Amino acid sequence: MKSNPTLATLILLFSASMLHSAEIPTSTWQEVLGPAVGTVPAPKLNSVIWREDFSSALQEAESRNLPLFVTWRCLPCKQCAAFDKDVLEGSPQLTPLLKRFVTVRMTDAAELDERYFPYRQFQDLDLSWWGYFFSPQGRLYGVFGGKDHVSDATRISEQALVNTLRRVLAHHYDPRRASWKVDGPLPTTDAPARGPRDMENFEAFKKERPWMSDQACVHCHQVGDLLHYDSMKKGTFDLAVYTQPWPLPENVGIMVDRDDGLRVTAIEPESAAAEAGIRVGDHLGMAGTSRLFGQADFRAVLHRASYGADRIPVGWTRNGKVHFASLGVRADWRKAENYWRKTVYEGIFGPHLGFFPIKGPNQGKGAMSFRPFMGSAEKRSNNPWYTVGLRPNMEIVEVNGRSDDWDSRQFISWFRLNHKVGDKVAIRVRYGRTFNRILPEEH
């Protein structure tokens, strides 16, 4: 990224006028990001109870003046299963903190109610575990969760959750909190529930996926698919929105410590963060119009930012002093490795290949290596690839001229994002034999 001295100067001169657009004055953010006032009391609950009814839990939270911690877990998914187990079982660090919250565990994404859970803007629906923090009145404090293309443990940890819980508690018990007006709005309880099943295209979406009738719950990624399906039906589908959700801090030039959640560990030279004046050792505290309790809150702000060039207000602390600036991001700032996302490699956009590419004998050795899985012998006999000669024991080494050493999800994502119905697909197997097929209207 080329340095732009004029832009850098403008960013560093960022003042209260920019923050005023958030309707929260600089003086308020100075207080919010400064030392906490007030005392977090001893646990009011004798044990951690994972409730299953959010409405009654909210009533309990209000009667006890306790914050809520609500987790969403897609039970069939293995992703984040170990972390979910750690949270449920507790630990010497976690348990005393969780006993200061009314804790709720939800396991069916169909129950997401936008009056309380604004999942379009605040939940990464490609994850099978997610957390929300609320005031006793249902105002949203922040969120917790995260994943990247490396693993489901590179963005979250027990220590990261511990630090987030502590920050939320300090915020909740600060006597100045109500005057700050930095929490989310009160839920519109007099309005009807608004969830995935209430979307006008839900029944059409489900009809095209008859297997959903056999599921015990709606999966989180299916809610993500539904949102994209709905936009396609309404003619508002945007491929960038489809492929570039939930940017990482690295997209603006920041690396944060996973376990701390907000401490900056590296700054990319000439990045938006470098031009804004953020340094290693700084602690992020606010972005957009939100207070940050952990990395997920920062990513949520980036997620809600423009898909083109934008300026994102940000505040941080350094040696006890609060600093403000804005992140000036360019048009392509959101690009990331998102092939791991189920809404991408198995979503509603792009043609299906016609088989699942399982790992071949030479994968990881510098070139493409897949075996074509076509299902049972009965299903295989009707597979178009089988009818033209492709067999499950063959090793695929090239597809339409590409021979990259991809894993299955990388390959599927590339294929679906770069092909359309009517394209000719040429598959070459080891020893030089090639099979051809035209992608049909239906798969």
Per-residue pLDDT of the chain (443 residues; tens, 9 = 90+): 333 333 333 333 333 333 333 478 999 999 999 999 999 999 989 999 999 999 999 999 999 999 999 999 998 888 889 999 999 999 999 999 999 999 999 999 999 999 999 999 999 999 999 999 999 999 999 999 999 999 999 999 999 999 999 999 999 999 999 999 999 999 988 888 899 999 999 999 999 999 998 888 999 999 999 999 999 999 999 999 999 999 999 999 999 999 999 999 999 999 999 999 999 999 999 999 999 999 999 999 999 999 999 999 999 999 999 999 999 999 999 999 999 999 999 999 999 999 999 999 999 999 999 999 999 988 888 899 999 999 999 999 999 999 999 999 999 999 999 999 999 999 999 999 999 999 986 54
70/168 same-domain check = yes
Query: How many domains does the structure of the chain reveal?
Result: 3
Neighbours of 152 (CB within 10 A): 21
Q: Is the pTM of this model over 0.75?
A: yes
**With contact defined as beta carbons under 8 Å apart, do 18 and 155 qualify?**
no
- Write the CATH number for 358: 2.30.42.10
275/314 same-domain check = yes
379/301 same-domain check = no
Residue 406 structure tokens: 């991809």
The enclosing H or E element of 141 equals: strand 140-144
Measured on CA atoms in the order 287, 293, 295, 300, is the torsion positive or negative? Answer: negative
Helical spans, DSSP H, in 291-369: 295-304, 342-345
| Of the residues 136, 163, 180, the one at which a domain ends | 180
382/425 same-domain check = yes
314/272 same-domain check = yes
60/163 same-domain check = yes
393/319 same-domain check = no
Q: Which residue range forms the structural domain that includes residue 386?
A: 350-438
Residue 227 lies in a domain: no
Residue 189 structure tokens: 């309880």
252/324 same-domain check = yes
- Write the CATH number for 144: 3.40.30.10
396/287 same-domain check = no
Residue 206 lies in a domain: no
Residue 43 lies in a domain: no
298/268 same-domain check = yes
Residue 201 lies in a domain: no
301/371 same-domain check = no
Cβ neighbours of residue 144 closer than 8 Å, sequence gap 6 or more: 130, 131, 132, 133, 156, 160, 161, 164, 293, 294, 296
The enclosing H or E element of 265 equals: strand 264-267
Cβ neighbours of residue 346 closer than 8 Å, sequence gap 6 or more: 221, 412
Residue 222 lies in a domain: no
